[in-house]
Amino acid sequence: MKTLQQLLDNKKHKTVISIAPHRPVFDALVVLAEYKIGALVVLDGDKLVGVFSERDYAREIILKGKSSKTTPISEVMSSNVLTVKPNDTVEQAMNIMSDKHIRHLPVLEGNKVIGMLSIGDLVKETIEYQQTLIKQLESYITG
């Protein structure tokens, strides 16, 4: 199975899309819509301080009647962020996401965020891997 670095190398968007914690939630929503993604890493300078997702917006802004134009991201982001390393495998990341019921994982090299992977990225890779294995087994069986 591939490493997370290999997955990041094959992604269309190579740059990490992030936002600062002091920015209003509305700004994050604009970025999410512009890039058609479901979550952003929240960086204070180069330091990972959280993840903001559509789920955070729904639960912390809409359901609580807060304003997305005046509420800073730091008030509603997930700050207890699980991360993975570039040399971790797709399987390891899938296990973390499944066990912890999360949809996005920042990839850190040392203390630097080098990418963000979604459950969709991992599922796509897993399906491709399984299809390759099936073809190899069929080829072996048929000789």
Range of the domain at 65: 4-142
Q: What is the pLDDT of residue 12?
A: 75
Longest dimension (CA), the chain: 66
- Given a cut of 80, whether residue 30 has pLDDT beyond it is yes
Under 8 Å between Cβ of 27 and 106: no
- CATH number of the domain within which 100 lies: 3.10.580.10
Q: What is the pLDDT of residue 13?
A: 72
Q: How far apart are CA 127 and CA 75, in angstroms?
A: 37
Phi and psi, residue 16, nearest 5°: -80, 125
Instruction: Specify the pTM.
Output: 0.88
Q: What is the mean pLDDT of the chain?
A: 94
pLDDT in tens, 96-140: 999 999 999 999 999 999 999 999 999 999 998 889 888 888 888
β-bridge partners, 44: 47
Q: What's the total number of domains in the chain?
A: 1
- Given a cut of 80, whether residue 143 has pLDDT beyond it is no
Alpha helices in the chain (DSSP H): 4-9, 25-35, 54-57, 73-76, 90-100, 119-142
Q: What is the pLDDT of residue 139?
A: 86
